[in-house]
Amino acid sequence: MVKGVINGIPVEVKAGTTILEAAKQVQINIPTLCKHPDLISSAACGLCVVKIKKLNRMLRACTTPLEEGMDVQTHDPEIVETRRTVLELILSNHPNDCLTCGRNNNCELQKLVADFGIREESFEKFVKEIPADDSTGTIVLEPQKCIKCGRCVEVCQDIQNVWALSFLERGVHTRISPAGDIKLAESPCVQCGQCSAHCPTGAIFEKDDTAKVWRAIQDPEKYCVVQIAPAVRVAIGEAFGFPLGTNLTRKLYALLRRLGFEAVFDTNFGADVTIMEEASEFVERFVHKKGTLPLITTCCPSWVDFMEKFHPDMIDHFSSCKSPHEIVGALAKTYFAKEKKIDPSKMVMVSIMPCTSKKYEITRTGEMFASGFQDVDIAITTRELARMIKQAGLDFSHLPEENPDHLLGDYTGAGVIFGATGGVMEAAIRTAYFLITEQKLPKVEFENVRGLKGVKETSVSVDGQEVRIAVAHGLANVEFVLDKIREAKRKKEPVPYHFVEVMACPGGCVGGGGQPYGVTDELRTARARGIYGDDEGSALRCSHENPYVQKLYNEFLGKPLGKKSHHLLHTAYKSRPIYKR
Amino acid sequence: MDAAQLEKDVSEIAGDWKNKEGNLIMILHRIQSKYGYVPREVSLEISKHLDIPLARIYEVITFYNYFKLEPPGKCTISVCMGTACYLKGAPTLLNELERVLGITEGQTTKDGMFRVEVVRCLGCCGLAPVLTVDGKIYQGVKKNEIGEIISKYAAEENGGNGGHKEKP
């Protein structure tokens, strides 16, 4: 521990703690535009300068550790004036597009400029013209609005290990771009959207598909249906002042009906179906030795894309099961349409997702058209839904609570935990245990797969056999798991794991790239708490217990991994080039 | 470029440096002296060979002024923008070059004939403003001489006088 003084207040922190962090302990927030709790300090923006007594210069609080006896001043007229100059310099390279910017009213730069009361631009404007890049159809790059904080580059390279984004050139010519000024769609980008979730300004944001949704809702010819992903319900409230992690599932059902959707489904139901298929797949491979172990989960389209580009040698390990929202999409246009006598060609399925990559997934391969139509027509993010709610003038907090539409709406606790890292694994084990032993689990919670540790390794005993498990989230953490698998293969040793779950985004879908801004581990934990609370409060906690899942198999699909299931609920993978040029 | 040849070249050059720290810059140097620039196919090959992400390679290439991403022209025209040359009218010379050739600094004409680049101080400030064509120095250049210099080299390349370069 080291002791110091900040603004005259004594403070004691662990050695190595930066002044920026130490100041928070004495209720002081030092402004910064580049430092993010997920990332190593890059000291790029220069806003967090502070004075240290006996030292004749200002230092950056984000990279300077508090030292024994240090006497720090974080705010005085000269420091404030310096910060104002830094902001004015940033503004001189930033376009004045605030009113029509995707981050209007939600921009870290705009907020600081307002806080500092900057009323005029005192430096000559120099904004380099760089065209926007919307080639992916999921994430839009507007490098002109980039303030070169480096967060997106760090997330893309260090947290996700994708290396789609980089800083090219230097000085005033520095810009974010894929290697060699190619389009993002031609780069290794897996469209996880973590860059957009970490960008302080409007330089990277999700492609807005809300207009498409409004058009579909308004079209009298169309029958517009919707589904919400597990992680959306515990994050949407942040945009409306609810406490962090509040679970708004049933208010959301009411809200979506009032937005004009004719039927409201839940992706959690699809998650229960995913588990029926995936747990059966696991039993096939683990018990009946048909297929490669470990089985690796495939609910996350960014992970699928990452694997197809960087690790095609792992394709045999992949579960062929589609992700939950694709399953709901395929079933809506076949099973639901048949039961309710609706023409599936008139049906529009909208998925509300915590994820930018789902926009890509809906046309990923031919199997996404299994119903004979595009199974999911439009995917929008939590952020886009928040805007739609505001446009519709709905008073979220006073809305009544409603139930989803049956057949594709009712879910178990196993379905909802898909939204947090480890959730798919936990849900799958609950059902796999039943499939193998035909007995009820004495305890359904598997605490060892929960939480924010990058790689979680554990094992469970099923029918006297040890099932070895790994759960990884944040794509840079995957390498460790895959290397272990490859190493065992090379040495012809027993597999290190039988079952592996991977989610591209840190924290899983609760930390998805399409979720409300400002994500930190604290927020990921709060959202996950909401999810696990929903599970605990559920009467049924295993997917196979869901009466509507049972009805689906009895009356429509037959059995898991059967012919119809295979056609509607499964997909295939192929190696893809890392760079298209 | 022939893929097998390219792989052989990269493997040869990279082989010398494979496990040495700071190898990327050394390898890029060797590549550029071999090809005159760093072609994208070569960068992709280096990326595979050394397991360095392509993005990192491009970060390095674009950070240093020295590395080129486009093939050099048959003639490289370098305009000195050092202080003396700058004050003596180098920017006017550069503008004129860009106007006549229809390219901007750092680019090569479509026919691959001329490349224009800017350099910092050639160390002969007494001769300002200075430009060089393929290393040959032209001193005290005036705007209206640009056209003449270019046509001379263009004519030579077209077989005008057997590649013999006259003194200015």
Q: What are the tens digits of pLDDT across the range A292-311?
A: 999 999 999 999 999 999 99
Domain count across chain A: 3
Kindly report the CATH number assigned to the domain that includes residue B152.
3.40.30.10
Question: What is the rounded CA–CA span in Å between residue A313 and residue A291?
Answer: 15
Instruction: Indicate whether A68 and A151 sit together in one domain.
Output: no
CA distance B70 to chain A (A): 11
Instruction: Look at residue A468 and tell me if it is in a domain.
Output: yes
Instruction: Indicate whether B87 and B150 sit together in one domain.
Output: yes
Q: What does the pLDDT read at residue B162?
A: 43
Radius of gyration of chain A measured on its C-alpha atoms: 25
H or E segment at A151?
helix A151-154
Instruction: Indicate whether A325 and A178 sit together in one domain.
Output: no
Instruction: Look at residue A105 and tell me if it is in a domain.
Output: no
Is the model's pLDDT at B157 over the cut of 80? Answer: no
Contacts of B55 in chain A (CB under 8 A): 157, 163-166, 178-179
Q: What does the pLDDT read at residue B166?
A: 46
Instruction: Look at residue B68 and tell me if it is in a domain.
Output: no
Question: What is the rounded CA–CA span in Å between residue B113 and residue B133?
Answer: 12
Is A528 at the interface with chain B, CB within 8 A? no
Where in the sequence is the domain holding A32, given as residue range(s)? 2-75
Nearest 5°: the CA angle A397, A403, A406 is 155
Kindly report the CATH number assigned to the domain that includes residue A41.
3.10.20.740
- 119-158 of A, contacting B, C-beta below 8 A: 157
List the pLDDT tens digit at each of the 581 positions of chain A.
999 999 999 999 999 999 999 999 999 999 999 999 999 988 999 999 999 998 888 999 999 999 999 999 999 999 999 999 999 999 999 999 999 999 999 999 999 999 999 999 999 999 989 999 999 999 999 999 999 999 999 999 999 999 999 999 988 889 999 999 999 999 999 999 999 999 999 999 999 999 999 999 999 999 999 999 999 999 999 999 999 999 999 999 999 999 999 999 999 999 999 999 999 999 999 999 999 999 999 999 999 999 999 999 999 999 999 999 999 999 999 999 999 999 999 999 999 999 999 999 999 999 999 999 999 999 999 999 999 999 999 999 999 999 999 999 999 999 999 999 999 999 999 999 999 999 999 999 999 999 999 999 999 999 899 999 999 999 999 999 999 999 999 999 999 999 999 999 999 999 999 999 999 999 999 999 999 999 999 999 999 999 999 999 999 999 999 999 999 999 999 999 999 98
Instruction: Indicate whether A449 and A513 sit together in one domain.
Output: yes
Q: What are the tens digits of pLDDT across the range B69-86?
A: 988 888 999 999 999 999
Instruction: Indicate whether A194 and A233 sit together in one domain.
Output: no
CA distance B55 to chain A (A): 5
CB–CB of A163 and B40 under 8 A?
Answer: no
Owner of token pair 């409201």: A264
Q: What does the pLDDT read at residue A87?
A: 97
Domain count across chain B: 2
CA distance B151 to chain A (A): 33
Instruction: Indicate whether A197 and A219 sit together in one domain.
Output: no
**Band of the pLDDT at B15, cuts 50, 70, 90?**
confident
Is A168 at the interface with chain B, CB within 8 A? yes
Question: What is the rounded CA–CA span in Å between residue B117 and residue B94?
Answer: 9
Instruction: Indicate whether A163 and A251 sit together in one domain.
Output: no
Mean pLDDT across B107-111: 88
Is the model's pLDDT at B168 over the cut of 70? Answer: no
Instruction: Indicate whether A151 and A243 sit together in one domain.
Output: no
Question: Shortest CB distance from B55 goes to which of A166, A169, A170?
Answer: A166
Domain boundary among B19, B39, B63: B63
Catalytic positions of A, please?
A: 278, 281, 299, 319, 358, 361, 367, 509
Instruction: Indicate whether A385 and A309 sit together in one domain.
Output: yes
Instruction: Look at residue A302 and tell me if it is in a domain.
Output: yes
Where in the sequence is the domain holding B143, given as residue range(s)? 75-157
Is A43 at the interface with chain B, CB within 8 A? no
Instruction: Indicate whether A546 and A493 sit together in one domain.
Output: yes
Instruction: Look at residue A90 and tell me if it is in a domain.
Output: no
Residue A463: strand, helix, or coil: coil
Kindly report the CATH number assigned to the domain that includes residue A381.
3.40.50.1780
Express as a percent the part of chain A with pLDDT over 90. Answer: 97
CB–CB of B63 and A169 under 8 A?
Answer: yes
Instruction: Indicate whether A275 and A178 sit together in one domain.
Output: no
φ, ψ for residue A459, nearest 5 deg: -145, 150
Instruction: Indicate whether B122 and B150 sit together in one domain.
Output: yes
Contacts of A157 in chain B (CB under 8 A): 53, 55
Question: What is the rounded CA–CA span in Å between residue A236 and residue A242?
Answer: 9
Owner of token pair 């263009």: B154
Q: What are the tens digits of pLDDT across the range A85-102?
A: 999 999 999 999 999 999
Question: Shortest CB distance from B58 goes to which of A157, A180, A581?
Answer: A180
Question: What is the rounded CA–CA span in Å between residue A282 and residue A295?
Answer: 7
Question: What is the rounded CA–CA span in Å between residue A142 and residue A207?
Answer: 12
Instruction: Look at residue A59 and tell me if it is in a domain.
Output: yes
**Band of the pLDDT at B163, cuts 50, 70, 90?**
very low
Is the model's pLDDT at B165 over the cut of 60? Answer: no
CB–CB of B59 and A166 under 8 A?
Answer: yes
Instruction: Indicate whether B102 and B150 sit together in one domain.
Output: yes
Is A443 at the interface with chain B, CB within 8 A? no
Instruction: Indicate whether B83 and B145 sit together in one domain.
Output: yes
Q: How far is the CA of A143 from the CAs of A100, A133, A168, A544, in angstroms?
A: 16, 8, 11, 48
Question: Shortest CB distance from B62 goes to which of A165, A169, A578?
Answer: A169
How far is Cα of residue A348 from the mean position of the Cα atoms in its chain?
Answer: 24
Best residue of A158, A160, A163, A177 to probe chain B, by most B CBs closer than 10 Å: A163
Instruction: Look at residue A89 and tell me if it is in a domain.
Output: no
CB–CB of A180 and B63 under 8 A?
Answer: no
Helices marked H in B23-163 — which ranges?
23-35, 40-50, 54-63, 83-87, 90-101, 146-157
Instruction: Indicate whether B43 and B81 sit together in one domain.
Output: no
CB–CB of B58 and A170 under 8 A?
Answer: no
Express as a percent the part of chain B with pLDDT over 90. Answer: 57
Question: B123 — alpha (psi -120 to 50), left (phi > 0) or beta?
Answer: left
Best residue of B58, B65, B104, B118 to probe chain A, by most A CBs closer than 10 Å: B58
Question: What is the rounded CA–CA span in Å between residue A230 and residue A227?
Answer: 10
Please give the residue of chain A at the shortest CA–CA distance from B39. Answer: A180
Nearest 5°: the CA angle B96, B100, B104 is 75
Q: What does the pLDDT read at residue B19?
A: 75
Show the 3-state SS of A120-147. Answer: CCCCCCCCCCCCCECCCCCEEECHHHCC
What is chain B's mean pLDDT, rounded? 87
Kindly report the CATH number assigned to the domain that includes residue A160.
3.30.70.20
Nearest 5°: the CA angle A379, A380, A382 is 140
Instruction: Look at residue A103 and tell me if it is in a domain.
Output: no
**Encoded tokens for A279:** 């747990």
Instruction: Indicate whether A169 and A306 sit together in one domain.
Output: no
Instruction: Look at residue B164 and tell me if it is in a domain.
Output: no
Is A455 at the interface with chain B, CB within 8 A? no
CA distance A44 to chain B (A): 17
Best residue of B24, B37, B62, B64 to probe chain A, by most A CBs closer than 10 Å: B62
Q: How far is the CA of A396 from the CAs of A248, A255, A379, A400, in angstroms?
A: 9, 7, 22, 9
**All residues at 6 or more sequence positions from B64 whose CB lies less than 8 Å from its CB, including other chains:** B25
Instruction: Indicate whether A284 and A381 sit together in one domain.
Output: yes
Q: What does the pLDDT read at residue B134?
A: 87
Instruction: Indicate whether B55 and B79 sit together in one domain.
Output: no
Residue A413: strand, helix, or coil: helix
Question: Shortest CB distance from A170 goes to which of B40, B56, B63?
Answer: B63
**Encoded tokens for A459:** 């094992």
Instruction: Look at residue A460 and tell me if it is in a domain.
Output: yes
Q: What does the pLDDT read at residue B159?
A: 64
Please name which of A390, A398, A401, A460 lies closest in space to residue A425, comparing C-alpha atoms: A460
Best residue of B54, B56, B65 to probe chain A, by most A CBs closer than 10 Å: B54
Instruction: Indicate whether B101 and B131 sit together in one domain.
Output: yes
Q: What is the ipTM of this complex?
A: 0.92
